[in-house]
Structure 1
Amino acid sequence: MPLYFFRISHGRYSGVSDHPSEFADRDAAWTEMKSVCANLLGGIARTLKQDAHWHMELLDETRKPVFRIRLMGETLD
């Protein structure tokens, strides 16, 4: 089964995970990424500053990004 690594851009959990996660396929990896992101999103949204962004990526075994979920706080004038 393929190995994947989570990478988070900002906050308490920022950086690349030290331990890979194993998923049956890309669909399973995407489903798990959405679940992990959903669990973190409430805390991230509460502390997100104006004109800031946060993102989570799922990297493959070579540490190349496969999926990305972004949250942006934009000021519109």
Structure 2
Amino acid sequence: MPLYFFRIQNGPYSGACDHGAEFADRDAAWQELTRVCGDLVGSIARRLKPNSEWQMEFLDESKHPVFRIRLTAELVD
């Protein structure tokens, strides 16, 4: 089974999990990413500053991004 790693980026700060998770296929990996992201997005959005971005990625075994979800806060004039 393919191994995936979470990586979260908040502005200039970025960190990837050292412990991978196995999923049967890409669909199962996507479901997990959206579930975890959905659990976090409320608390993240409440702390997001104007003109900033938060993102969560799933990386493959080579640590290359496979999926990415972004939350962007923009100050619109």
Give the TM-score normalised by the residue count of structure 2.
Answer: 0.93
Runs of 4+ in 1 over 6 A off after TM superposition: none
Matched with 2:71 is 71
Q: Which amino acid aligns with 1:55?
A: Q
Matched with 1:61 is 61
Note the 1:1-77 alignment, pairs <5 A: 1-10=1-10, 14-77=14-77
Greater strand proportion: 2
Question: Matches of 2:48 and 2:70 in 1, distance apart?
Answer: 12
Aligned length: 75
Question: Matches of 1:35 and 1:70 in 2, distance apart?
Answer: 14
Residue segments in structure 2 that go unaligned for 5+ positions in a row: none
Give the TM-score normalised by the residue count of structure 1.
Answer: 0.93
SS in 2 for 1:56: strand
Q: Which amino acid aligns with 2:64?
A: K
